[in-house]
């Protein structure tokens, strides 16, 4: 059954007659058509899926082949939605609760039907990946691994963090990536103690650890991978920290399987970090769902995530880290597919400590 049909089948139990999709990734997920955020919407009626957008997309829509999706060209997107709903006597229209207040105001003014918000309706469908999606995520992760090898081959003492990020960006795009899913993190030396530093003009120098955290889209799906490596030599404490983090990462991956709760999965790695005395230096969740967005459901799993329970073919990251102010930090992040039998690691770049230019 198609994704659109699955959604239409839910209408009765949701007490709606139609559903309005405005999130770009959700429109892409349901139709395969790439509309920039804000450039239109998708109206799902009991019988149809209608993309409503303006003339800029006319040609692309004519070329777009789909048995399920039709298009309406109008500059007044929501006026067109209202006309369709009125014409079909659709009296309850669901919409995504993530819309802006401005758009809510427009809908509230314009729509003759009742409008009802829904939280993460399509995002819940996206949580479990089908085999095509897993294949795309696997390919994105393979490109990511190759990108890391490239980064290792060019990094040297004296290169700035920004230069490494820019060269990696060029390489990833030349090898098929469309864009990054977040600004690449290159955090060297004491910068690596900031878990979400961006690439700066700081030069990478001998004795630095470098945390490289990047994610690129390939065929619509993104990977998200982090490796920390050392240049020239490594501080003895950070060497120990590296081993703790790598072991914590492995423990989480070994525990990952269908049915485990988010808090249990988090604890599998966090307990090791706490036992080593670094509990306070691990200041974020253990990971998050990934797919069409770099952060998607399950949004995060961390202590207290008792409501998150892993399902078959969910794709999540595993990213323990320890950050010691004034010294540096280590994070290692993999993307995994959770199955009944355990986890498949998608990001296969080596995780043992690498010291470049040694």
**Number of residues this chain uses to bind ligand GLY (CB under 6 A):** 3
Using CB under 6 A, pick the residue from 96, 169, 208, 224 that binds ligand GLY. Answer: 224
CB-wise, 169 or 224, nearer to ligand GLY?
224
Q: Please, are residues 108 and 84 in contact by the beta-carbon 8 Å criterion? A: no
CB of 335 to Mn ion, least distance (A): 8
242-301: which residues touch ligand GLY (CB under 6 A)?
none
Q: Between vectors from CA 97 to CA 113 and to CA 287, what angle results, nearest 5°?
A: 155
Answer for which of 113, 144, 317, 351 binds Mn ion (CB under 5 A) is 317
Strand, coil or helix: 102: helix
Query: Which of Mn ion, ligand GLY, none does residue 28 bind (CB under 5 to 8 Å by kind)?
Result: none
The sheet with strand 296-301 has its strands ordered as 296-301, 287-289, 314-318, 334-339, 342-345
Told to check if 213 binds ligand GLY by CB under 6 A, we report yes
Contact status: 191 vs Mn ion (CB under 5 A): no
Q: Which does 133 bind (CB under 5 to 8 A by kind): Mn ion, ligand GLY, none?
A: none
Sequential DSSP letters for 191-232: GGGSTTPPP-SPBP-TT-EEEEEE-BEETTEE--EEEEEEES
Between residues 42 and 322, which has the closer beta carbon with respect to Mn ion? 322
- Give the pair of three-digit tokens for residue 23: 């999130």
Q: Which of residues 181-200 bind ligand GLY (CB under 6 A)?
A: 182
Q: Which is nearer to ligand GLY, 287 or 328 (CB)?
A: 287
Contact status: 104 vs ligand GLY (CB under 6 A): no
Q: Supply 96's token pair.
A: 């995504």
Residue pointed to by tokens 């990108």: 147
Nearer to ligand GLY, 96 or 224 (CB): 224
Phi and psi of 41, rounded to 5°? -155, 175
Whether the CA torsion 149, 176, 224, 257 is positive or negative: it is: negative
User: Minimum distance from CB of 59 to ligand GLY (Å)?
Assistant: 36
Cβ closest to ligand GLY, residue 8 vs residue 222:
222
Tell the smallest beta-carbon distance from residue 71 to Mn ion (Å).
Answer: 35
């Amino acid at each position: 059954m198609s994704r659109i049909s699955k959604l239409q089948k839910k209408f009765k139990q949701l007490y709606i007659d139609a559903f309005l999709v405005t999130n770009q990734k959700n429109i892409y997920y349901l139709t395969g058509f790439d509309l920039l955020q804000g450039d239109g919407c998708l109206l799902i009626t009991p019988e149809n899926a209608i993309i409503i957008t303006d003339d800029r997309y006319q040609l692309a829509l004519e070329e777009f082949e789909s048995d399920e999706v039709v298009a309406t060209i109008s500059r007044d997107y929501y006026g067109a939605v209202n006309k369709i709903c009125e014409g079909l006597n659709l009296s309850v229209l669901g919409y995504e609760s993530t819309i802006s207040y401005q758009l809510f105001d427009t809908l509230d003014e314009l729509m003759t039907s009742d409008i009802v918000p829904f939280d993460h309706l399509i995002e819940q469908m996206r949580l479990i990946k089908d085999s095509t999606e897993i294949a795309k995520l696997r390919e994105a992760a393979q490109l990511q691994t190759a990108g890391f090898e490239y980064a290792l081959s060019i990094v040297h003492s004296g290169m700035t963090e920004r230069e490494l990020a820019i060269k990696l960006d060029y390489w990833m795009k030349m090898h098929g990536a469309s864009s990054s899913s977040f600004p690449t993190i290159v955090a060297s030396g004491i910068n690596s103690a900031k878990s979400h530093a961006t690439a700066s003009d700081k030069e990478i120098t001998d004795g630095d650890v470098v945390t490289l955290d990047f994610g690129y889209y390939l065929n619509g799906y993104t990977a998200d991978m982090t490796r920390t490596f050392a240049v020239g030599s490594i501080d003895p404490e950070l060497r120990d920290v590296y081993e703790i983090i790598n072991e914590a990462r492995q423990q989480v991956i070994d525990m990952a399987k269908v049915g485990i709760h988010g808090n249990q999965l988090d604890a599998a790695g966090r307990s090791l970090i706490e036992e080593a005395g670094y509990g306070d230096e691990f200041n974020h969740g253990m990971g998050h769902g990934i797919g069409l967005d770099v952060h998607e459901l399950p949004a995060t799993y961390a202590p207290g995530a008792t409501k998150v329970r892993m399902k078959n073919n969910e794709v999540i990251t595993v990213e323990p880290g320890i950050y010691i102010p004034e010294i540096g930090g280590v994070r290692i992040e993999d993307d995994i597919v959770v199955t009944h039998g355990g986890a498949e690691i998608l990001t296969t770049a080596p995780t043992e400590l690498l010291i470049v230019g040694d």
